[in-house]
């Protein structure tokens, strides 16, 4: 497995892995889920909209889910200072891999090459059929919703469509997870940013990196279960703290 995802880097250059969660995107106007003002903290019922069993069994849940997707703040969101800092590091040629729990695509919009980003929970910008696995764009599906299809079926087979994200009750893509684990094991520095480190198996990547000798840095507003393993814990706002932190780590500091 090519831990640098391609052509840059070289022998002896430390690999920096960045695991990002919802907290890195809050400055872009996308609320997190489990924080004090998180989506599920404020409305526990909203979790049903992203739970596979409920979604597949209940047409009303699907209709509500499509309305949620239509009104999502993701479509107006732009990369913030933290995303830009990660993208600058990618452009610098430093060996870097981004493993994200987010489905918003903001790392790629900021300029991180696709080959350097592993989306553990999939992408909200793509739609997949639960029956035939046909894929299309979320833009196309939302145009159908706007035209009056409250629960648009697959145009290929008539099956149920969903966003190409990993819902509760679904397993992560084993290929993506395997690559993420390989990155964690190979990393010299592992930075967990804006993640509660409570959702498995993504959270275990921090422990896996530390077990294999990586310097573990956690940047998060709230305590995480892995703070005790960290070499450094940063509580400052992510948009302010991450740019200088990545500059320092990239320079070996």
How many whole angstroms separate alpha carbon 127 and alpha carbon 98? Answer: 23
Rg of the Cα atoms in the chain: 18
Integer CA distances (angstroms), 84 to 89, 110, 128, 227, 250, in order: 9, 6, 29, 25, 15
Virtual torsion, Cα 44, 49, 53, 56, nearest 10 deg:
160
For 109, which DSSP code?
Answer: H
Q: Give yes or no: 107 in active site.
A: no
Q: How many angstroms separate the CA atoms of 68 and 70, rounded?
A: 5
Q: Which of 83, 107, 121, 212 is catalytic?
A: 121
Q: Which of 83, 86, 95, 99 is nearest to 204 (CA)?
A: 99
Show which residues are catalytic.
Answer: 121
């Amino acid at each position: 497995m090519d831990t640098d995802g391609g052509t840059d880097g070289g022998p002896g250059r430390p690999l920096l892995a960045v695991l990002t969660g919802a907290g890195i995107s809050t400055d872009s106007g996308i609320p997190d889920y489990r924080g004090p003002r998180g989506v599920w903290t404020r409305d526990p019922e909203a979790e049903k909209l992203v739970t596979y069993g409920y979604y597949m069994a209940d047409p009303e849940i699907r209709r509500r889910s499509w309305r949620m997707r239509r009104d999502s703040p993701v479509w107006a969101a732009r990369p913030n200072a933290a995303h830009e800092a990660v993208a600058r590091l990618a452009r610098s040629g430093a060996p870097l891999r981004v493993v994200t729990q987010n489905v918003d695509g903001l790392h790629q919009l900021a300029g991180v090459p696709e080959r350097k980003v592993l989306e553990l929970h999939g992408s909200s910008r793509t739609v997949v059929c639960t029956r035939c696995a046909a894929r299309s764009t979320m833009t196309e599906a939302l145009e159908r919703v706007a035209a009056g299809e409250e629960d648009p079926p697959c145009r290929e087979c008539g099956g149920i469509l969903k966003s190409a994200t990993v819902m509760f009750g679904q397993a992560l893509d084993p290929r993506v997870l395997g690559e993420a684990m390989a990155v964690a094991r190979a990393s010299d520095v592992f930075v967990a940013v804006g993640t509660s480190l409570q959702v498995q198996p993504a959270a275990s990547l921090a422990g896996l990196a530390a077990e294999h000798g990586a310097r573990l840095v956690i940047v998060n507003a709230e305590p995480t279960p892995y703070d005790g393993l960290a070499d450094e814990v940063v509580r400052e706002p992510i948009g302010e703290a991450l740019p200088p932190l990545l500059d320092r780590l990239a320079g070996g500091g």
